[in-house]
Amino acid sequence: MTVSIEQWLQQAKQQLESAAHDNHGRESALLDAQLLLMDVLGQNRTYLYTWGDKALTDEQRSQVNTLLEKRLNGEPLAYILGEREFWSLPFKVAPSTLIPRADTETLVEWALDLAANQQLPDTAKAVDLGTGTGAIALAIASEFPNWNITGVDFQAEAVELAQHNQQALKMKNAVIRQSDWFSALADEYFDLIVSNPPYIDEADPHLEQGDVRFEPSSALVAADKGLADLQHIIEQAPDYLNEGGWLLLEHGFQQADAVCELLKQRGFVQIENRKDLGGNPRISGGCWVAEPLP
């Protein structure tokens, strides 16, 4: 029995809709099916529309059905395809790192605003802590060729992946290194420190839902109701910030008040919060102004 491109897409769409646990999953069913088939065929979406009546070979059907089965079992599309777009840049992804999310682009936008308002130097030095795929570091690097960007991660697999992305994107003003937060950054000072650290409480029921079931818990979960790593970064950051430097942190939408309070207690000023695409408080940050000598 032969199956055409259009027939396979409709069958896959129905299966994905039936397996979906929410409206988003049902609404994205056709797109997911298209992306899986595009990956196997090595073609774009226009090809699928133009050649909808073209029959799939047995090998193509076998390959795409294998991918479909993974998606039906809940595996994130980004892991299946091995790639996710962030800041209009293609990033290779793997189960050793978090999947870059659009909400995190809010952090990049804030960095752009600081530069536009001349709150950062034209040749700023920045570091992304826990860089994962390198998405934040390389997105910033793409916008500021004159900046010096460092991305660090504790996991060797993440460092290797981020280095691959840095080389693939040809970001010559960025470097990826292995470091447990600030441990490998002794005697270095930055104008901007950014991070999307683990911030989910280990008892959070969302850890058993959706894509996060497949993502590394070490990149998701933190002690002290998800605040431990955020607090560690806030405490240590001033030792690595230039005068007037900024610290920007992603966190859970219910953690904004706590993070802002931690920033205030540590001595940061101009503290504020920015909302993500869903209107939830997602990024908090502040400026470091060293205390004057007595």
Query: Where are the domains positioned within the chain?
Result: 5-74, 83-288
Please say if the pLDDT value at position 185 is more than 60.
yes
Q: What is the DSSP string of the chain?
A: ---BHHHHHHHHHHHHHHH-SSHHHHHTHHHHHHHHHHHHHT--HHHHHHTTTPBPPHHHHHHHHHHHHHHHTT--HHHHHTEEEETTEEEE--TTSPPP-GGGHHHHHHHHHHHHTTSS-TT-EEEEET-TTTHHHHHHHHH-TTSEEEEEES-HHHHHHHHHHHHHTT-TTEEEEE-STTTT-TT--EEEEEE----EETT-GGGGSGGGGGS-GGGTEEHHHHTHHHHHHHHHGGGGEEEEEEEEEE--TT-HHHHHHHHHHHT-EEEEEEE-TTS-EEEEEEEE-PPPP-
The whole-model pTM stands at 0.85
Tell me what pLDDT residue 97 has: 84
Q: Is the pLDDT of residue 147 over 90?
A: yes
Q: Assign domain 5-74 to its CATH superfamily.
A: Ubiquitin-associated (UBA) domain (1.10.8.10)
Residues 80 and 66: their CA atoms lie apart, in Å, by 10
**Residue-level pLDDT at 23:** 74
Question: 205 pLDDT exceeds 50?
Answer: no
Would strands 281-288 and 241-250 be described as parallel, antiparallel, or unpaired? antiparallel
Nearest Cα residue to 89 out of 68, 70, 104: 104
**For residue 236, is pLDDT > 90?**
yes
What's the distance, Cα to Cα, between the start and end of the chain in Å?
85
- Report which of 186, 182, 178 is spatially closest to residue 153, judged by C-alpha positions: 178
Query: Does domain 83-288 sit in CATH 3.40.50.150?
Result: yes
Q: What is the pLDDT of residue 116?
A: 94
Across the range 98-126, mean pLDDT stands at 93
Q: Alpha-carbon distance 268 to 284, whole Å?
A: 11
pLDDT in tens, 119-130: 999 999 999 999
Task: With a cut of 90, say whether residue 212 has pLDDT above it.
Answer: no
Over residues 219-231, the mean pLDDT reads 68
Tokens encoding 291 = 């205390």
